């Protein structure tokens, strides 16, 4: 009994020799293309890299940390009070940035989403008020209140007050009120009330900060506000 594979080995039908060099090159090309496709899908739909340039989120995030943000929130995964989010600077909170020098290697890694894009202006803060919430500072005990309930914030930078400025803000529909964890070094919603009340459009939120990817000794998840807002009631209609 013969098999189809035997025909290639018969003297009458000599087999076509495979070029090992071309085979190796082809395999590498296939791997590179597949990796690019996966990276683009991840970058577009799942995660994106960002760089932390300031100390406004200390000590949750440190200067020069690299993080990945989950792009599925907002979206399939809803945002909540206490989430650390990355959002586009659509209201001009930041000064213009000067062009930075690049090279083909950094441009490639930026393209596939493995390193941050230095040409885009983004900020990272913690959501304190969701649409409909009333955020106020400070209570008689020196704490923030959300919908009339005091909250204790363990993520605040050691020695900082919840806020050194008094404010009352009711968050409109489609927006959030955000604050940095290093309250004494964060130009957040409190300091931009001249720009749409200091509120951030939910549509400007790129995603929820999920993982610190660099440096390696800080590798790990980024904590939200678990338990901090547990007793806060839904906003009154």
Structural domains in the chain, sorted by start: 47-221 (2.10.109.10)
| pLDDT over 70 (residue 2) | no
Establish whether the linkage from the previous residue to 160 is cis, with ω within 30° of 0: no
Residues with catalytic roles: 56, 125
Length, in residues, of the chain: 237
| pLDDT over 80 (residue 214) | yes
Mean pLDDT of the region 183-209: 94
Confidence of residue 7 (pLDDT cuts 50, 70, 90): very low
**pTM for the full predicted model:** 0.75
| pLDDT over 80 (residue 133) | yes
Question: Which of 11-20, 41-50, 181-190 shows the lowest per-residue confidence on average (mean pLDDT)?
Answer: 11-20
| pLDDT over 90 (residue 157) | yes
User: pLDDT tens digits for 80-126?
Assistant: 999 999 999 988 898 877 666 677 777 766 665 556 565 568 999 99
Mean pLDDT of the region 70-82: 81
User: What per-residue confidence (pLDDT) applies to 14?
Assistant: 53
CB atoms within 10 A of CB 12: 5
Percent of the chain clearing pLDDT 70 (strictly above): 76
| pLDDT over 90 (residue 44) | no
Q: What are phi and psi of 22, to 5 degrees?
A: -65, -35
Mean pLDDT of the region 29-36: 70
* DSSP β-ladder status, 175-179 and 122-129: antiparallel
Contact 79, 73 (CB under 8 A): yes
Q: What is the mean pLDDT of the chain?
A: 84
Mean pLDDT of the region 68-84: 84
Residue predicted with more confidence, 160 or 50: 160
Q: Which two tokens stand for residue 220?
A: 């790990």
| pLDDT over 60 (residue 54) | yes
User: What per-residue confidence (pLDDT) applies to 27?
Assistant: 80
Mean pLDDT of the region 174-190: 97
| pLDDT over 80 (residue 41) | no
User: What per-residue confidence (pLDDT) applies to 226?
Assistant: 84
Give dist(CA 181, CA 193) in Å, integer: 19
Give dist(CA 42, CA 44) in Å, integer: 6
User: What per-residue confidence (pLDDT) applies to 8?
Assistant: 43
């Amino acid at each position: 009994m013969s098999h189809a594979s035997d025909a290639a080995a018969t003297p009458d039908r000599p087999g076509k020799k495979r070029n090992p060099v071309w085979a190796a090159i082809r395999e590498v090309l296939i791997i590179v293309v597949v990796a690019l496709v996966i990276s683009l899908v991840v970058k577009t739909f799942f995660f994106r890299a960002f760089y932390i340039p300031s100390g406004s989120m200390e000590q949750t995030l440190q200067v020069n940390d690299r993080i990945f943000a989950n792009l599925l929130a907002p979206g399939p995964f809803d945002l909540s009070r206490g989430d650390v989010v990355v959002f586009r600077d659509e209201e001009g909170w930041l000064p213009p940035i000067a062009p930075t020098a690049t090279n083909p290697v950094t441009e490639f890694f930026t393209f596939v989403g493995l390193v941050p894009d230095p040409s885009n202006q983004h900020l990272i803060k913690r959501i304190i008020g969701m649409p409909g919430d009333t955020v106020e500072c400070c209570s008689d005990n020196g704490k923030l209140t959300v919908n009339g309930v005091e909250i204790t914030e363990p993520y605040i930078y050691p020695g900082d007050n919840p806020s050194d400025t008094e404010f009352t803000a009711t968050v409109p529909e489609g927006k959030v009120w955000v604050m940095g964890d290093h309250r004494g070094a964060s130009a957040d919603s409190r300091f931009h009330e001249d720009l749409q009340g200091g509120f951030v459009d939910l549509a400007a939120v790129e995603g929820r900060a999920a993982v610190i990817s660099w440096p390696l000794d800080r590798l790990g998840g980024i904590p939200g506000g678990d338990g901090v807002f547990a007793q806060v009631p839904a906003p009154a209609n």
